[in-house]
Amino acid sequence: MTVFEPPIDLDRPKEECGVVGISTRGDEAARLAFFGLYALQHRGQEAAGIAVSDGRAVRMHKDMGLVSQVFDSSALAPLTGGMAIGHTRYSTTGSNSERNVQPYVVETMHGPLGVAHNGNLVNADQLRSKLLERGAGLQSSSDSEVLALMLAAAEGDSWEERLANVMPEWTGAYSLVIIAGTKVLAARDPWGFRPLSMGRMPSGGHAVASETGALRTLGCEETREVEPGEIVVMQGELARTHRAVEPKEKQARCTFEHIYFSRPDAVWDGMSIHQVRQRLGAELAAEHPVEADVVVPVPDSSMPAAIGYAAASGITYNEGFVKNRYIGRTFIEPTDELRRSGVKLKFNTLEENIFGKRVVIIDDSIVRGTTSGPLIRMVREAGATEVHVRITCPPIAHPCFFGVDMGTYEELIAHQLGVPEICEHIGADSLGFLSVDRMMAALGRDEGYCNACFTGSYPVPVQLSLATSKKRFDGVLG
């Protein structure tokens, strides 16, 4: 009998994509897009693609794999032009298959159109049905193709006008980069779910990307967020913006960008991710104090929070885990002994920092509860006398419908068990989750964020078909 063993990274929320758009002089836009995607690799490790235009034709290369696996010098050489869009993907809507790899490039009566999308439309099923009724030939199961085909058929005298005309029909999360004619366009949904920023390149031209860290990698200056409901039009070295859709009164930025997804060097909603994570740790120390000897993070995203927890609590900070950052995804089946070892494929302990001590483990989340238990056992085997776990967000009890794979209701341990039961399940001496109020205090905000995965209160109505696909839906629709 074959026993299913969850992948090492299964107990982490999965961000779905990173996008980048480049408009500059010369023919090196694809190479710049490559480095932009490389800086966004953490947002998706299943597929990557770049589409480039010289103003006449759009050429594209995309495939399954990491950015460095999909692209080399020979793959980039034919991609000449001053405009490019790129995408790195983790599958959400649509299975992980070659036909869902982005960008999507389609021929239209106005010329070739390329689209790359970060997010998830909650009305995708309705939009797909309308396209099929009109005779459209859909080739993938992704809502991103639905976006591309709707834009291709939209009315208007320019691509920005067509985009503005179709955006009101889209409900949910979308940060888009588009290549068409002599322009690169970018747009963000009116709720502001997914991040998107723009900057000016010192060599001339502009870039947009999912995170400001990618823009800094490209040397961009004067960076700012693309505002919710805004369209950016980049043409040659020039850029202009205009409001296509009014921002929603209640904004819905994803809190998990601060907690886990974004690189620590990113700026999101005007705040340094690294500093927010330190404040999350400080709030956690105030809400769930414990007598202990050492604070250790689960690397890497929890390190700033552990620093904040240690500083606020007065407990010594030290590293307790060594992470193998190069394990990635492998097709080599581990031996039975390695499979039983579980997370030891990715983590080892620093026994000298743990032995004989009361340990506080700081982590960013518990999703399915498959990783915390093995980590705690490793720490106990390293000689810890007590193991206390502190989590920098509230319990994740509800799925996300806006582009993040949080798992289904049946998979989410916090939907099945209370905190005392989770503590017993993972084998900790104590367990504390940060409350919603304390989490928002760390952000310095009392509104403007989507916390539906914690509260079940969704910022926009969710289709019943989506809800039932997540199993045991009992959240608030709308």
Q: What are the residue numbers of the active site?
A: 17
**Inter-CA distances, 384 with 288, 323, 355, 388, 410, Å:** 20, 19, 5, 10, 33
Cα dihedral sign for 159, 43, 448, 145? positive
Q: How far apart are CA 21 and CA 240, in angstroms?
A: 14
Q: Which two tokens stand for residue 149?
A: 């085909």
Q: How far apart are CA 386 and CA 379, in angstroms?
A: 9
Q: For residues 211 and 18, is the Cβ–Cβ distance under 8 A? A: yes
**Residue 27 backbone dihedrals phi, psi, to 5 degrees:** -120, 20
Kindly give the pairing relationship between strand 321-323 and strand 316-317.
unpaired
Nearest to 240 by CA among 269, 212, 200: 200
Burial category of 338 from C-beta neighbours within 10 Å (exposed 0-12, middle 13-18, buried 19 and up): exposed
Kindly give the pairing relationship between strand 47-53 and strand 58-64.
antiparallel
Q: For residues 365 and 297, is the Cβ–Cβ distance under 8 A? A: no
